[in-house]
Amino acid sequence: MGTPWRGSWRGWLAVLALWAVAAIASAQPLALPSVALGAAQQAQRDPYDPTGFHAPSLSLSRLVQGDPVPARVLSGEFDNRFEAVSGQQVWAPKGGPAWWRVVVNEDVDAAVAPQLTIDRPSRREIELWRPGDELPLRRAIYGPDIDLNHSTRMIVFPLPKGLHKGDTLYLRMLAADLMQSRVEIEPLAMVQREDMMHVGLRSVVLTAMGVVAVLAFGFWIGLRERGYAYLGLTLILQILTLTSDGGEMRVVPWLNEIAPDARTNIVLNTAAVLASIRFLIFFLGLRATQPRISRLLDWCSYSLGGLILVTLFRTWKYSALFGNLNLLVVVALILYATVVAVWRRQREAYFLLLAWLPLMALLVVLVGANHQWWPEFSWLEYTFPVGLAFGGLGLLLGLTSKLQQLRRDRDTANRLATYDSLTGAMTRAAISQSLRSAVESAHRSHRPLSVVFFDIDHFKRINDEHGHRVGDETLRIVALRTRNRLRAYDLFGRYGGDEVLVVLADTYLRDAVRVAEHLRDSVSGSPLSIDGRLLPVSLSLGVAELLPNETPEQLLERADAALYASKSAGRDRVTAHGAETAPEVVS
């Protein structure tokens, strides 16, 4: 098959470089660096310039049990039941509320327009009581409490009066998962800048995935290759999953109603995995190359399909765990199948290994973090979507490369079926089909058509006296000499053994006879040089012109009869078979 990287390694280096740059850039914190300013600079600084802002330290504590009436919490009745936690992370048990107390350990100037921010807002509903508030501020990225003044990167609460050291904020959180969210106080300008960075990166990633998906569906429509449809469907479902989790679906009213439902996330994620399985089975050709792995992936598909059906009716307590365990099994099976395919030097396996190996690693890390099997990593928020986009692009390139190889193999097979490997002439099947098409065209257009049928005189004697290798070389040289005397659009085919058929379109009988004379002279005019010996060779030729309503078979019978007449008349001559019943020797 050759080196699998041939013709594509430069493109792959570019894709990998872009993937690495985007992943590294997305993993960097969006917050601006803190710069120490002197007193004079502090006095002159624009109050909305976030440069040099020092985030105040916060002390967090969590109400261990219960969901008391807010007025009782605000009155301090439950202060002794709050337990301090380290760090600035908040969370809530699935399906139940959690109360948090946030104490500010430093003054926060109102001039910087401070904002309380809580990241990872997906499927969270948060209420905030600021000092002096009787009613809470409610925020969520879906539902009636959405705040369209900010991106979906964080839930943002304004603190217009600033804060004094020792002030207390109370949070009440409802969450659909156990993921932790970081609480910080930032100036409005910094929040807006982070919003712009977030929206820009998400737009680039989602647009890239959308473009690749559109290209995949376009190739599927144009080429009718179902692999493109699988890839396009996988990317579309991944886009829907990302926009559901990330909150972009809130701009569409009816999606804003269903996106917060935990079942939406489960159905979309599971459907995306199902589409990925079908694509990867097709992409690696597992049905034929690794049937056992293919069957195991089918069983995973049935299991995930059952999860979707159950989720459509009710939320199962262990839906997320069941789906993620299936996903990890799928990742392991695909990784194994890819390694085996690479070992067998399947070209497409190299694309899959490079495009999805980093993505599968990120996926495993993300699943483990969701179930708190290991710590969370903030860089996953952007690195995983970037990995999806570049993984989709890499697989599109890989699928295109695979189809190009399949087409090259098909073209090679067609050529082997169409052309004789020894002489370069068309095979009997190919020349017969071409003759049939030429006859039909000649009848429709009422244009002339003639054929020349010839063979090598005493060819059996050449084989018997000099051996089959010399006989083969004789055939090759005769084919080369005669083909060089024909027009580019004339058809030339080996009909069987040493018999050759030439189809001359737009040619009357008299002109075809002249062509046949040139063919005879090209061979008999000078002996063939084979292995240092000069071998005299001659041709016997029969010519016939197509008659009205004549079939290809009848035309060939008359040309064959003319060839037989040439042999009977002493060989090394041309015989024409016109409308008359008997062939006429013309040379």
Q: How many residues does the chain have?
A: 587
> Order of strands, edge to edge, in the sheet holding 89-90?
89-90, 181-187, 114-119, 154-158
Beta bridge partners of 185: 116
- Which tokens in the block code for residue 238? 């991944």
**pLDDT tens, position by position, 42-76:** 444 454 455 667 889 999 999 988 899 999 999 98
Name the nearest CA neighbour of 500 among 570, 424, 449.
Answer: 424
Phi-psi group of 521: left, alpha or beta (phi > 0 → left; psi -120 to 50 → alpha; rest → beta) = alpha
- Across the range 126-146, mean pLDDT stands at 92
pLDDT at 415: 65
Q: Per-residue pLDDT for 504 more than 70?
A: yes
Tokens encoding 303: 């299991």
The pLDDT assigned to 513 comes to 94
**Averaged over 510-522, what is the pLDDT?**
94
Q: Are 238 and 209 in contact (CB under 8 A)?
A: yes
Alpha carbons 112 and 213: distance in angstroms, whole number? 43
How far apart are alpha carbons 44 and 123 in whole angstroms? Answer: 42
Mean pLDDT of the chain: 84
pLDDT-derived band at 203 (thresholds 50, 70, 90) equals very high
Question: Per the confidence metrics, is the pTM higher than 0.85?
Answer: no
What is the rounded average pLDDT of the residues 435-463? 92
Q: Which helix H or strand E contains 579, and what residues bound it?
A: none
Q: For residue 419, what is the DSSP state?
A: B
68/8 Cα distance (integer angstroms): 64
Spatial separation of the C-alpha atoms in residues 192 and 173, rounded to whole Å: 24
Spatial distance between the Cα atoms of 554 and 366, rounded to a whole number of angstroms: 74
Structure tokens at 431: 């020349």
